[in-house]
Structure 1
């Protein structure tokens, strides 16, 4: 079992997407989605090193399989940008594999992210998660400064893994519960400069890794 940690650049309900009773990571974090396996854990931190969410990966699907799965079983994950309900607007099943050409649905992502999203290949799903959103939880001091926005993600060593699970167990948090809305709430538009800047920085970090491994 591996435990991966990263800073969530924009906690808006899309990546991760905690809705529909299943926490998913289907876009962004292309390098992490490509290597993480069933049974691994993901830890997403705020830039102040507080816990936004953590999940044990219970299923790994290809992006095409996820598209088919959401159409049949989890339609809330298919983005509806005209909806005024945040859960529907922030769907992360943003790619339609119905035809030979993979099409991008109207969503939080744009064509400039398509190549990198698809490079990730997989979608990580969990029905064993904790999502705290805007009431992110303070972690032990040992987790301060372990990762930054300039690092895609890190893998915890055994000592930090043990400390994290000991801390998590003692929180008595309710499994699969959304404790609060994401940090960024309401309708997200392309004119949201804070989100755009954060996404640009995230894309730059991931693109550097992408270019070095392509």
Structure 2
């Protein structure tokens, strides 16, 4: 089992997407999406600009991995297809990619990662689909703006901290560190959605529409 940790720089409920019963990582973080295996854990810590430095935003155990086409077609993930005129949960849906069956080109749904007018954002397509892999949780806890303070013992030294300063992620910890951290995560109580994303209820300037949860 490996633990991957990084800073959630922008918390909209898009990456990760903690809605409709499962936490998924389908965009951004291409290296983690490429290398994480079933049974590994991914944890996101809070950004200082949100005032959440040193706090846990979410943690998920990888239960399965899917290609974008598999994710798009699976009936259980249809609710995660974005609808910019629906609820906030729908607006930030992360099930946004599939291949055209004839041309095999990537199709990008109108979403948080498309342009403000709904047109395809080629830069995001290239970045996101560079790794054709979606991580799906079988256990997760998501605190969002209610992020939990991480104990000091998990923030000491190069091999004993889950706090990544800046971009990228951490993965190499001392022996036993991952197990201790996950044990602490599980001790926080019931799994699932525990708090809204930091920027969930604000004005979505991409479309100029204010939505309800």
- For residues 39-93 of structure 1, the C-alpha deviation after alignment (integer angstroms, 9 at most, x for no partner) is 1000111020211110100010111211111xx222211000111x111111001
Shift of the alpha carbon at 1:156? 4.4
Residue 86 (structure 2) pairs with residue 75 (structure 1): no
Instruction: Identify, as 1 or 2, the structure richer in helix.
Output: 1
Shift of the alpha carbon at 1:14? 0.6
CA distance in 1, matches of 2:128, 2:199: 21
Partner of residue 108, structure 2: 104
- For residues 113-136 of structure 1, the C-alpha deviation after alignment (integer angstroms, 9 at most, x for no partner) is 111101121000013111111100
SS at match of 1:154: coil
Do 1:67 and 1:97's aligned partners in 2 also have CA atoms closer than 8 Å?
no
- Which residue of 163, 166, 175 corresponds with 1:149? 166
TM-score by length of 2: 0.81
Partner of residue 61, structure 1: 66
Do 2:71 and 2:77's aligned partners in 1 also have CA atoms closer than 8 Å?
no
Partner of residue 198, structure 2: 183
CA distance in 1, matches of 2:109, 2:207: 19
CA RMSD of aligned residues (A): 1.8
SS at match of 1:57: strand
Do 2:106 and 2:125's aligned partners in 1 also have CA atoms closer than 8 Å?
no
Shift of the alpha carbon at 1:168? 2.1
Name structure 1 gaps, 5 residues minimum. 193-214
Partner of residue 16, structure 2: 16
**Structure 1 moving runs of 4+ over 6 Å:** none
CA distance in 2, matches of 1:22, 1:170: 20
Partner of residue 125, structure 1: 136
Name structure 2 gaps, 5 residues minimum. 48-52, 115-120, 156-160, 209-213
Do 1:5 and 1:156's aligned partners in 2 also have CA atoms closer than 8 Å?
no
CA distance in 1, matches of 2:70, 2:45: 28
Partner of residue 179, structure 2: 162
